[in-house]
Amino acid sequence: MASRLNPYIQFDGDARPAMEFYQQVFGGELALNTFGETGAPGVEQVADKIMHAMLDTPSGYTLMASDTPPGMEYRPGRNISLSLSGDDADELRGYWAKLSEGGVVGVPLEKQMWGDVFGMCTDRFGIAWMVNISEPQG
């Protein structure tokens, strides 16, 4: 799978209805995962909120979103990140190294509870980035 660049919108508790609306607008397949499904401690108060949503549209683009997780600040007007994802670990690690250099790392690029390697950073120009490296498929 080639690397992809996707917008990632952060919501303040209404990611599910927003993404269901976008599905009605754009069509496509919507996948929703809640914080409760992770089994992580400390998420009981947001167990039914969306940890990750992904809408793959028939037009070939992908829209991703989540509710603001516990411990993170919701920043209206600054609630969009750019998400790089794929299974080419060398390519994505290279992007990560360049994007995070001179910036601020919010989540180090490392293996996460869902099995992928993931990190979040803000580059030196204030742009928020997420990198997700999935295991190569078959």
pLDDT tens for 6-34 read 899 999 999 999 999 999 989 999 999 99
**8 A C-beta contact, residue 4 and residue 82:** no
* 20: exposed, middle or buried (Cβ count in 10 Å: 0-12, 13-18, 19+): middle
Q: What is the pLDDT of residues 55-83, one digit of tens each?
A: 999 988 899 999 998 788 888 878 888 99
Which domains occur in the chain, in start order?
4-133 (3.10.180.10)
Q: Are strands 4-11 and 29-34 parallel, antiparallel or unpaired?
A: unpaired
pTM as predicted: 0.74
Sign of torsion, CA 11 17 23 29? Answer: positive
